[in-house]
Amino acid sequence: MTKGVPSQQRTCMRCGQIYQPASGPQKFCMVCRGPVRLEVACLSRRKQYWLHRDEEIRKVREWQEHNSQRYHESRRQYEFRKLRDSRRLVLEHYSNGALHCACCGESEIDFLTVDHIEGNGNTSSRELGIPRGGSSLYRWLVRNGFPPGFAVLCANCNASKRNREACIHQRKPISSPNSS
């Protein structure tokens, strides 16, 4: 028996499996030890940050000043990814995962938009504080749990609905005066 190695098997405090400890104070099996080490390291970094918060903030701001171009480029890329992901999430939710226009079936994601079903985008924006469109609308929809009253339309159907109160695909064709 090696000095300091317990002879008794123990039960892992995380997963409950029985294991042979490699050292005296070991509380987790080999499978669970890796994640625990990461958690402990994360907690110690967090504690270090809060103990020296002002100094940490100063260092970050100093780095941002010295690397402003790199910082702004990485920030721009982060915001682009965040918008792309939230937009896709909203479009998938309101089109039931199909990613197509509810009116004409257009499936090109760059053409798809979110439509206020009742056509009350302007009034709901003013009264309820709902953004009218764009990235702020996508973030608002995600943050508020995808409330009802919205649908996915392509840009053409959305514009047609806005200008004529009904999409061109939903209206009856108008006969031309030259046809008999």
pLDDT tops 60 at residue 175: no
pLDDT band of 180, cuts 50, 70, 90: very low
Residue 31 CA to residue 14 CA, distance in Å, equals 10
pLDDT at position 53 over 60: yes
Cα–Cα dist 41/70, whole Å: 28
- The lowest-confidence range among 2-16, 65-79, 94-108 is 2-16
Average of per-residue pLDDT across 136-163 = 88
d(CA 29, CA 12): 5
Mean pLDDT of the chain: 83
**pTM given for the model:** 0.59
What is the pLDDT confidence band of residue 173, given thresholds at 50, 70 and 90?
Answer: low
Specify the long-range contacts of residues 134-142, CB closer than 8 Å, at least 24 apart.
135/83, 135/86, 135/87, 138/83, 138/86, 138/87, 138/89, 138/90, 138/114, 139/86, 141/90, 141/93, 141/114, 142/86, 142/89, 142/90
Inform me whether the pLDDT recorded for 77 exceeds 90.
Answer: yes
Domain ranges for the chain: 68-164
pLDDT, mean of residues 113-125: 75
Token digits for 24? 């005296």
Report the C-alpha gap between 137 and 120 in whole angstroms.
14
Q: What is the pLDDT of residue 121?
A: 64
Q: 140, 131 in Cβ contact below 8 A?
A: yes
Sequence-distant (≥ 6) Cβ neighbours of residue 95 within 8 angstroms = 102, 112, 151, 152
For residue range 21-41, list pLDDT tens digits in order. Answer: 877 778 878 777 777 677 778
- What is the rounded distance in angstroms from the CA atom of residue 18 to the CA atom of residue 176? 83
**What is the Cα–Cα distance from 47 to 45, expressed in whole angstroms?**
5
**Per-residue pLDDT, 168:** 77
Return the pLDDT at 126.
Answer: 72
What are residue 18's DSSP bridge partners?
Answer: 11
**What sign has the CA pseudo-torsion 56, 57, 63, 67?**
positive
Q: State percent of the chain over pLDDT 90.
A: 31
Residue 174's pLDDT is 56
